[in-house]
Amino acid sequence: MKEKYSPMMMQYLGIKEQNKDSIVMFRLGDFYEMFFDDAIMVSKELELALTGKNAGAKERVPMCGVPFHSASGYIQRLVDNGHKVAIVEQLTDPGKKGIVERGVVQIVTPGTIFDESLTQNRNNYIACMMTFDFVYTLAFCDITTGEFQVVNIDKQDNILNNQLATMEIKEIVVESNCTYSFHEGIMVSRYDNETFNEKYQDIFKNIKDLKQIKVATLLLNYLIETQKRDLEHLQIIEEINNKDYMTMDLYTKKSLELTENARDHEKYGSLFWLLDMTKSAMGARLLKNYIDRPLLNRQAIEKRLDIVEIFTQQFIQRESIKEILKEVYDLERLSSRIAFGNINARDLKWIASSLKVIPELKQQLYSFNEDLTNQLADQLIDLSHITKLIDDAIIDNPPLTIKEGNIIKDHFSEDLDELRYLRNHGKQWLIDFEQKEREKTGIKNLKVGYNRVFGYYIEVTKGSLDQVKDEFEYTRKQSLSNAERFITPELKDMESKILSAQDKIEKLEYVLFTQIRNEIKKEVHLIQDIAKIIAQVDVYQSLAMLASENSYVRPIFNNNKTLEITEGRHGVIEKVMGHGQYVPNDVSIDEKNPVVLITGPNMGGKSTYMREVALMIIMAQIGSFVPAKYANLTIFDQIFTRIGASDDLISGQSTFMVEMLEANNALRYANENSLILFDEIGRGTATFDGMAIAQAMIEYIAKNIHCMTLFSTHYHELTFLEDKGLGIQNVHASARVDNDHLVFEYLIKKGKSNKSYGVNVAKLAKLPDEVIQRANRVLETLEENNVEDRLVEEKVTIIEKESEVEKYLKTIDPMALSPLDALSTLIELKKLLK
């Protein structure tokens, strides 16, 4: 590199060369500056003024900058836009001669951002993936909480994409030779260091699979490389076994609105919104995790339900626990900040106030007098030594900065107390010193003074100089026309103490703060363990509160593939509408008739009924009570849905194409223990095409998959399938016409619907009267020439006049024919036609 720029700019270019894939934020004084192409691009993205800097060359170098104290917001925006940001800090004192040494102290990426703006109730996972012969192996880490997980999944792209979507991955680390094409919106970071780091061997103690160790090592090394520090807060790596959890693909999670609504992707109106009565950020994150991964193990589900039931029955203890949890801050993220080194004094006070509630929380859990709650209480270890240290050391309302003093209490450090005394009582000391010197020397007009050039001095007039004796240790400092100024070792010592007291106070407070932080750092994993228990308690009280306030019932489970629900409700809609407004429905599905065909008018409640069943099953399998009078359920291993129109215009797919792709997912991967919800399949194409596809799908599910299925349709013609002995039953959303007005009853009743009430719905939508009248006339004509009746008549006629071809066809078994036999049979049939 030619040295055509200034030394500082050459330093920048050297750092940029090492970080080509990152925006380099270069610390200059109170600003982070960006140069060249980085500056041009960032100025546009962040709407900053683009200026220029003289850097030793003829042309000015493009430059833009942001103040260092408000940089986090700018960094967040850049990372949200898919950039990596390399933070370059000054590593030596700017006051010294020569160029200040600088270096990258952290690379912030979408998967490693550690900022207050992170959503409290969501994790921020970074992933790492490797491809092996039969599996994809993935590792996930959230450096803001220290959680670290690994999983092996079948080598199927749909499972991989579903796993990444479930974990909301924004960045994935792969080896540089990886050719897999990930979805848009995921940053792919290539990295190749797989050297096992012995320092972190403890976190690997629970995993034995060499593939998982390899992937976790790659991710760990990438995190250490980008964060430029020890990551002592990382928790023991946990293996996720997907066989323990219900599988739901991305379509299903979106259509059932599990963690966000489909309209604006906010929490409001989702199942998470309904269930989340947690009081802590840790509890909210754990609850979301439960919703994403409902359990399959009946014993594990019953254990959660047992605890929720205990909390439900004992109102006073539950209310006390709820109040205690309000005092708890986000211990997971705070403990990670300790280890990460970006914690402030206020954070320490939050840790102390959170840990202080542990004895009371423990007592309340014991007061339930139940084994399960006692086990939770036993795990809440005493960390009062941490709260005592913080309370003894840190003032009550400390500032956010940790290098400007005023964070450590008086009487915590003798050295600090002395410095503060000097700073606060320096003037008094000088008055006392002056009096003492007058008495010692006998010079009545002796003065102690100060000026900026010479500092503190003792001034003696010329007339009293003969009284200054050698034993006083006065050293001449300055001569004036009528006086001499002296310094003594004691005054000199005090001068340096007074003048440097504030500076020393700030430095000493920072040293003391880091000592306290390092002391607490030793206990980070204990704090994380406590955070986990608090999160569980919070989820249990939340689910119990919900059950108590809304008359939810504990579900029971059966092994004979039966679904019996009495007066079931859709919890989310009930909450939006207000208690008592929702019309409850019964559900009765058994092994003999697992496929339920739902007919009835639009807006009659068919989709709501289907979602209600699915949400109730998910709630039950996460360990929640359910909105019903009675619920006897079977455990489902997968849920597939196709609900609602969703054109994928970006990739040029119509509603019908998206519908077929989503339906195909269910038909390919469902088994007899799965649940399928299909809403209006086939409506995106021509009527007869749609009807044919819908019938074929229902028959395929009934004959081949044998799983519980709720299938709503406008094709009333399909209701004849109930009589085919395939295990299909008809139900319908009831409605009636009163005085020419359509009234929805929102009740699902047995049997088929005879009318679709489409014209009545059009009238409700206030279409012009002329259109409504014309539609009624056309409908009457169509009903008079009933297509279904005509088809039946045709069928009868054909049966009466059965042809030779048909007789011959009945004798053929197509599956038993070889290709040659099939050809000769076709020739024979053609001859018969002639």
What pLDDT digit, counting tens, does each position of 741-798 carry? 667 777 888 988 766 666 666 666 666 777 766 766 766 675 565 544 443 444 444 3
Highest mean pLDDT, choosing among 143-147, 182-186, 744-748: 143-147
Give the Cα separation of 645 and 641 in Å (integer).
12
How many helices (H) does the chain have, and how many strands (E)?
27, 27
Q: Within a 10 A sphere around the Cβ of 473, how many other Cβ atoms?
A: 12
pLDDT band at 817 (very low <50, low <70, confident <90, very high): confident
User: What residue spans in the chain does CATH classification 3.40.1170.10 cover?
Assistant: 7-108
> Which CATH architecture describes the domain 126-244?
2-Layer Sandwich (3.30)
CB 207 within 8 A of CB 239: yes
CA distance 291 to 296: 13
Find the mean pLDDT for residues 699-725.
Answer: 91
Amino acid (1-letter code) at residue 132: F
**Fold (topology level) of 276-383+523-550:** MutS, DNA mismatch repair protein; Chain A, domain 3 (1.10.1420)
List the CATH code of the domain at 7-108: 3.40.1170.10
Which residues does residue 401 pair with via DSSP β-bridges, in sequence order? none
pLDDT of residue 367: 96
Q: For residue 647, is pLDDT > 60? A: no
pLDDT of residue 649: 37
Inter-CA distances, 487 with 74, 450, 454, 629, Å: 53, 11, 10, 92
CA angle 175, 181, 186 (to 5 degrees): 80
Distance CA 130, CA 211 (A): 8
CA-angle at 205, arms to 200 and 207, nearest 5°: 115
| CATH 3.40.50.300 domain extents, the chain | 556-766
Q: Is 411 in contact with 394 (CB distance < 8 Å)?
A: no
Nearest to 34 by CA among 54, 53, 10: 53
| 833 compared with 617, residue with greater pLDDT | 617
Look at residue 755 in the predicted model and tell me its pLDDT: 63
User: Residue 45 pLDDT > 70, yes or no?
Assistant: yes
pLDDT beyond 90 at 548 = yes
* CATH number 3.40.50.80 given to 556-766: no
The pLDDT assigned to 803 comes to: 73
Compute the C-alpha angle 561/562/568, nearest 5°: 135
Residue the block writes with tokens 């205990």: 310
How many residues in total does the chain contain? 834
Q: CATH number of 414-503: 3.40.228.10, 1.10.260.40, 1.10.1420.10, 3.60.150.10?
A: 1.10.1420.10
Reported in sequence order, the residue ranges of 95-146 that DSSP labels E, i.e. its strands, are 102-108, 126-131, 135-142
* Percent of the chain topping pLDDT 70: 90
Choose the weakest-confidence range: 182-186, 263-267, 340-344, 794-798: 794-798
Amino acid letter, residue 123: N
- Do residues 719 and 750 lie in contact, with contact meaning Cβ atoms separated by under 8 Å? no
d(CA 351, CA 30): 30
pTM of the complete model: 0.83
Binding site per annotation, positions for ATP: 600-607
Q: What are phi and psi of 633, to 5 degrees?
A: -120, 160
Confidence of residue 514 (pLDDT cuts 50, 70, 90): very high
Higher pLDDT, 145 or 655: 145
- From the list 779, 746, 701, 493, the residue with the least C-alpha distance to 606 is 746
* Residue 185 structure tokens: 């919106």
Tell me what pLDDT residue 58 has.
78
Q: How far apart are CA 329 and CA 399, in angstroms?
A: 18
| Residue 629 backbone phi and psi in degrees, to 5 | -85, -30
Residues flagged as binding site: 600-607
Sign, CA torsion 428/433/439/441: negative
Query: Per DSSP, what are the bridge partners of residue 712?
Result: 598, 679
Residues of the chain with CATH 1.10.1420.10: 276-383+523-550, 414-503
Residue 24 to residue 605: CA distance in whole angstroms: 56
